[in-house]
Structure 1
Amino acid sequence: MSPSTTHSEARQSAQEYLNARLASRAKSKRQFTVPEIDISPSFSSSIEDRKAVAAQIHEACVNSGFFHVTGHGVSDETRQAVLTLAKRFFQTLSREKKEALHIKHSPYFRGYEPADSSYVNPADWTAQDAAPETKEGFNWGYEAGLDPTGGDGQYRELDGKAVNGNVWPSEEDVPGFYSTIKQYYGEILSLARHLFRLFALSLNLPEDYFDDMMTHPGGIARLLRYPASSDPQPLDPNQADKEIGLGAHSDYECFTILLCSTAPGLEILSPDNVWVPTPAVEGSFVINVADFLMRWTNGMYQSTVHRVVNRTREERYSVPFFFSINYDQMVETLPSCVTPENPSKYPPIRAGEYVLERLRATAPET
């Protein structure tokens, strides 16, 4: 299979999955819930304690695809500092300075992302009834200077090049920007590596199965601002939303770690095709399975469709962290997820190539 064929397959299969979920009218016998998992026992020296947490994660991943984690060890100071930074960046940096950081200047979609520069659901570019997205973002990815381990010096970008694709505002324009990002990213990266060891246990794999694949991992993060609604309305499944912060989508990488402010907005598509509001749990992160892990597990773990609609008069800020493995890693279906009755549904693909193809699909064709 040629690289171009693989890339086309990655984009097409993901879009087909999203379209099928949005069109589904399947009825579920289970009540749709987003469980709260205290992962503090997973830091224990007891493998049984760690397996117990992993079992809860497995249950969440095959059912809702979403769960809250508490007891994660990321400090409240770090969490609040990055949310404050997001507010300061979007409210104080001039339009001209933002434009200089525009993602159109980056082959890796890094930097400032205004609302009109992308649709997270590629089909919305041509849909006549698609509501424009109102989100405003700033995107960055892994670099060794943000990694508490110092990295292994082998980082490759999405396209395999040995470069650092990040762009940053100057210290003069946004004082403390990089240092705050470094603190947050470092703590969240450590948490992501810890969670992936739990994911390994949850899939009946050795706990260190993914360790060698996380030495210079993909880890795209975003600061996001959702403006207050001009006409706040309660959720009505029978009425089209006029203001969409972020359209219906599933995430691209292995899993997402989401930090958000107090303003609600996250909505998850339930198995019976109803949008379910998902309020934040104080002190928690929201974790969700993303498409690459669903692909890697041969569909065992479900990537759940979700969106953001700010229905309040309060601005919403969030910081999603999309965790992957080393972008130069070639990936085939996990051995514990393949049986003679359930052979692999997906061809091998390099991790970075998959994510880059998905990102390219969100921008207009040029």
Structure 2
Amino acid sequence: MDDQKEWPEPIVRVQSLSESGAAVIPSRYVKPPSERPCLEPPSSSDDGEGLGIPVIDLGRMAGGGVDCPAKIREISDACRDWGFFQVVNHGVSPDLMRRMREVWREFFHLPMEEKQRYANSPQTYEGYGSRLGIQKGAILDWGDYFFLHLLPPSLKDPNKWPKLPSSCRETVEEYGRELSNLCRAVLGALSTSLDLDAGYLQRAFGGDDVGVCMRVNYYPRCPQPDLTLGLSSHSDPGGLTVLLADDHVKGLQVRRAGAWVTLQPLPDAFIVNVGDQVQVLSNAAYKSVEHRVAVNAAAERMSVAFFYNPKSDLPIGPSPELLSPERPPRYQPMTFDQYRLYIRQKGPRGKSQVDSLLKSSPPCHYSTTVNSDGS
């Protein structure tokens, strides 16, 4: 990444700004009027089930079974119609979900000097961070985060795994194993729905050599939530994302039919969405969807985003089995190592990244000096 070892400006922790008691946010966080959030969800979308987002009971599919046509059709329809869905009865214990929330909430409430031990850099983004993108003078998001690598093992840096709370490392390892199983099951369903064999997309991701990472997002209270965002509009650059969200504080907004819909997480559920790599592999049969995060004046919010990504140096392009003279390839192939540099350099910018891979678009060129991390 142009050998950038430091951020272009001094890092200010958003949590510190929130706790200062200031009534006005710094201008660096004020979004242009066209990008400011809609804080009230459209009432017409509220059907009592996550504000319209499909809710899928995975049942035995969470254990690896992908031969249930009704469930596969539900997942396929949700991905084609929304790009997002919630899963219940997913095989991950509510106790583990509760422990993940507890250890990370405790981490973000540790003294600042303890958290600063894990401060991250633009080289890998691993650790405690407060911005995406390295452009000097960029408008920033109202949120802090902690980013960790889980797979491949060669990328795990033990110095970046928090020692406090004492149960954090063990909890994250257990969570990573359970959610990897869930992602494999969802990939199997998506493969089958495309009339491919159940293991196709997993192999396209690199088989057992996938990249797995997670980002714990912490959105402190904001005195002017109508002027900023916790996370700007973007589609996820990776393969699959599984989100563990606060079920008592809303914030995630999904773009649908030109409007922003605020999602309501259900208790003990995960929110799942497809990323750009699945859009490319499926030749746009499935499309990643723009989403963003609104913040709150009354309450903090935390979420855990789990990313299941292709092997970082594997070229990803439209699957040959899905192509025909009537359906030619829509995207130029690119490794995930190259692809993720866009958001790393520019920050979240809608769907401009995946659109740049369209065959009718000029090829994009990014600096490729960056550590491989599967994020």
Equivalent of residue 59 in structure 1, options 77, 83, 104: 77
Q: Secondary structure at the match of 1:300?
A: coil
**Equivalence map 1:142-181=2 (5 Å):** 142-143=150-151, 163-165=155-157, 167-171=159-163, 173-181=164-172
- What is the aligned partner in structure 2 of residue 284 from structure 1? 269
Cα distance in 2 for partners of 1:360, 1:70 equals 36
Q: Which amino acid aligns with 1:139?
A: F
Matches within 5 A, 1:83-232: 83-92=101-110, 94-104=111-121, 107-114=123-130, 117-118=131-132, 130=139, 132-143=140-151, 163-165=155-157, 167-171=159-163, 173-212=164-203, 213-231=206-224
Compute the TM-score of the two structures, normalised by the length of structure 2.
0.72
The count of corresponding residues between Structure 1 and Structure 2 is 302
Change (3 A) 1:226 1:43: closer
Query: 1:344 and 1:188 mapped to 2: Cα distance?
Result: 31
- Unmatched runs of 5 consecutive residues or more in structure 1: 1-21, 23-30, 146-161, 233-240
Which residue of the partner structure matches residue 324 of structure 2? 339
Shift of 1:303: 1.0
Q: Is the 8 A contact 2:62 2:182 kept in 1?
A: no
* Corresponding residue for residue 40 of structure 1: 59
Correspondence for 1:304 among 289, 306, 309: 289
Pick from 244, 266, 286 the counterpart of residue 252 of structure 2.
Answer: 266
**After alignment, is 34-43 or 217-226 more displaced?**
34-43
Give the SS at the match of 2:109: helix
Alpha-carbon RMSD: 3.0
For 2:354, the equivalent position in structure 1 comes to none
**2:73 counterpart SS class:** helix
CA contact (8 A) 1:108 1:356 kept: no
* 2-structure distance, mates of 1:312, 1:301: 36
Q: After superposition, give the CA deviation of every residue in 1:180-226 in whole Å (9 maximum; x if it has no partner).
A: 11111111111111211111112111012134423021112011111
Q: SS of the residue aligned with 1:81?
A: helix
| Cα distance in structure 1, aligned partners of 2:314 and 2:64 | 30
How much does 1:125 deviate?
A: 6.8
Alpha-carbon shift at residue 61 of structure 1 (Å): 1.3
Structure 1 residues 321, 126: closer, same or farther in 2, change over 3 A? same
Distance in 1 between the 2:59 and 2:325 partners? 37
Residue in structure 2 matched with residue 330 of structure 1 by the alignment: 315
Q: 1:126 Cα shift?
A: 6.6
* TM-score, normalisation: structure 1: 0.74
Task: Look up the match of 1:318.
Answer: 303
Per-residue CA deviations over 1:268-290 (Å, capped at 9, x if unaligned) read 1112x211110101221101111
CA distance in 2 between counterparts of 1:216 and 1:40 reads: 27
Q: 1:47 to 1:319 in 2, by over 3 A?
A: closer
Structure with the larger helix share? 1
| Same amino acid, percent of matched pairs | 25
The one-letter code of the counterpart of 2:253 is: E
CA distance in structure 1 between the aligned counterparts of 2:132 and 2:298, rounded to whole angstroms? 24
